[in-house]
Copies of this chain bind each other. A is one copy, B any other.
Amino acid sequence: MPARIEDVAAAAGVSMKTVSRVFNREPNVRERTRQIVLQVAEELNYRPNPSARSLAGNRSYQVCLMYDNPSSNYVMEIIGGVLDACEGHRYGMMLRPLDYTSEDHVESAREMLAQYRPDGLVLTPPLTDDERLLEVLRDSGIPYASVSAQSHHASMGATLDERCAVAEMMAHVIALGHRRIAHITGHPAHGARAWRLDGYLDGLKQAGIEFDSTLVVEGEFSFESGVAGARQLLDGPSPPTAIFAANDDTACGVICEALERGLAIPGDLSVFGFDDTPMSRHVWPSLTTIRQPSREMGKVAAEQLLRFIREKVPGGIVRIPYELKLRRSTGRAPG
């Protein structure tokens, strides 16, 4: 049987409450007393019982990560970040996959809240933009932090200036001589679709290149939409010399379709994506992309949340820096 708080209290010659104070880092414990308690606890190999703590404290000491699997890599990075943040706070993490296209996903979220009572939530895109879900969360009074947070949807989280990042990458590609640059957009349910599209438009405008609507085709952040988009663009009357795919999956679809047609990359066509997934280094040619430090963002979001839970100080939205990754899929414009 593991040692209980009572055992530690007895052995240290103090009350249970004092031991509790020490373990919860509460004030009003003499340093000397604290030392004794910690040492005795160590000797007895004491670990607070999480269930008892939760029950008595009326908190679950659990944070819930809700996601709608956009990509495994992305979610695993976020998971890692959230776990990192939880570590230091003696908090656990629970996972809740949600399919935002399903009719009852909001109901399912509500049910989860009722059953498991997490003390807070971390949300990833596109759930961060799901108004019906956010409404339920706000009604429930459970605090949440967003990865990829926008101030009108969340009060805390981590964010990245995707628009600015894309504009910067556009400038780079334009400097390589490209003028006909196409864009395959992201999925409409994601806020990122608009931010990345805006960055594309900004890039054109800043270079004084006129917008050509035939160079923008709809995608959905998938490999398949990259293949389809590339087909549409490359079959057009005057095809682009460069394609900005809204994420790396889409970019891989573009690369496949281009190679399939015998085009050289980047000789005939430059391609760039967004996310810097591991795959972007593992395809041929390696993919120029924009690095989004997802793990860091997950960690920061969770930290904002935990700070709020524990200290009731409203955590804000933290801006995380991006990074351009220039690889082999982009090069000088042909001709």
B47 touches A114 (CB 8 A): yes
Is A115 located at the chain interface by the 8 A CB criterion? Answer: yes
The interface bits of chain A over 102-123 (1 if a CB of B lies within 8 angstroms of the residue's CB, else 0) are 0000000000001111000000
Give Cα A60 to B83, complex, Å.
Answer: 19
Give Cα A88 to B118, complex, Å.
Answer: 20
With both chains docked as a complex, state the minimum distance between the C-beta of A41 and any C-beta of chain B, in angstroms: 12
Contacting residues, chain B, for A54 (C-beta < 8 A): 50-51
Give Cα A282 to B254, complex, Å.
Answer: 10
B282 touches A114 (CB 8 A): no
Name A249's contact: one of B79, B80, B282 (CB within 8 Å): B282
Is A283 located at the chain interface by the 8 A CB criterion? Answer: yes
A76 touches B72 (CB 8 A): yes
Known A-B contacts A93-B94, A95-B83, A284-B260; A60 and B69 likewise in contact (beta carbons under 8 Å): no
The interface bits of chain A over 35-59 (1 if a CB of B lies within 8 angstroms of the residue's CB, else 0) are 0000000000101011110110000
B281 touches A223 (CB 8 A): yes
Q: Which residues of A from 55 to 80 have beta carbons under 8 Å from B?
A: 55, 60, 69, 72-73, 75-77, 79-80
Contacting residues, chain B, for A76 (C-beta < 8 A): 69, 72, 75-76
A223 touches B83 (CB 8 A): no
Q: Can you add 9 more A-B contacts, CB < 8 Å, to A49-B55, A92-B94?
A: A45-B114, A50-B54, A50-B117, A51-B55, A73-B73, A76-B76, A92-B116, A223-B278, A282-B283
Name 12 A/B residue pairs within 8 A (Cβ), A-sorted: A49-B55, A51-B52, A51-B60, A75-B76, A79-B95, A80-B97, A223-B282, A252-B282, A256-B282, A256-B284, A259-B284, A279-B282
